Amino acid sequence: MKAWLQAARPPAQANIAVPLLFGQALAYAQAGAFSWKRFALVHVYGLFVHLFIVFANDAADWRADLGNKTYNVFSGGSRVVPEGKLTPRQLANGAMLMALGIGAIGAVAGFIERLPFAVVLAALPLGILWAYSFPPFRLSYRGNGEVLQALGVGVVLPLTAFYYQAGTFAPLHLASIVPTALLGYAGNVTTALPDTPADRKARKRTLAVVLGERPARITAIGVTAAALLLGFMALPGKAPWIAAVAALAPAVALGLAVPLVPHANASARNACLRFVVLVAGAGSLAQLGWTAAAFIAP
């Protein structure tokens, strides 16, 4: 059981839960819809998605993880395969079980809650993860894995949460998810930084491998800053000052990351970890700020 808990990587749930919260806040702000029952359904869905992703990625990347010496709590997989606690086959079986859970939630939402697109929305994370980590696409190795994470975390998750609460996509201002898509892209670039030496050996074409670690850090900060500047798009109908207030805490975190840009290489593990925490934290704080504003701001 301890091995499976380690494989589950509980801190990674924030990458799923926060976009789902934001999507439900959009449904409340733009459609006046909120149900605690559907809130629970959304986050059970999110739990299955999270576990599917971490188990499947560990099963797909175990060879690269064996040679990863610069991992941290946010990167490098769960380490259960390198440490001999679970096998890739066990993780693949666990991922398939979680995929069934995602499908079951989609079926419950579709047939009991009368949300006909829920089954399609349940299939999307499976397809995106397959294209990200497995043949024939395997874009995390071939390049543009960042775009897939932007699509999955920044678009599909908020859309799914919005639909579960509102029961329709009609009231949604699509521009509202532009900032979250940017944060999804930046999040992938950021959390891949500690893995750069191992990714280079594994011939992964991450942004840090292709452009270099420092340009990747600059990109992560720049894209996150762009999302903060476009935060007003996440809050249509709200006064502009509300988005500005929501951006204060993440802007501070991002500002603290700037001095680390010159030297936070993967080999400087503590500096790299601080950079990842600050930039990824800025993205999460931004989404939580927009969520709070969508729920409570006039």
* pTM recorded for the entire structure: 0.94
Domains of the chain with CATH codes: 12-296 (1.10.600)
Q: Does residue 68 surpass a pLDDT of 90?
A: no
Q: What confidence score (pLDDT) does residue 274 get? A: 97
CA distance 78 to 73: 8
The gap from C-alpha 164 to its chain's centroid, in whole angstroms, comes to 19
For the chain, give the longest Cα–Cα distance. 54
Q: Does residue 89 surpass a pLDDT of 80?
A: yes
SS3 107: helix
Mean pLDDT of 91-100: 97
Q: Does residue 55 surpass a pLDDT of 90?
A: yes
Q: What confidence score (pLDDT) does residue 33 get? A: 97
Are the beta carbons of 233 and 242 closer than 8 angstroms?
Answer: no
Q: Does residue 71 surpass a pLDDT of 80?
A: no
* 220 Cβ contact partners less than 8 Å away, ≥ 6 residues apart: 186, 189, 190, 193, 279
CA distance 37 to 10: 23
DSSP letter assigned to residue 155: I
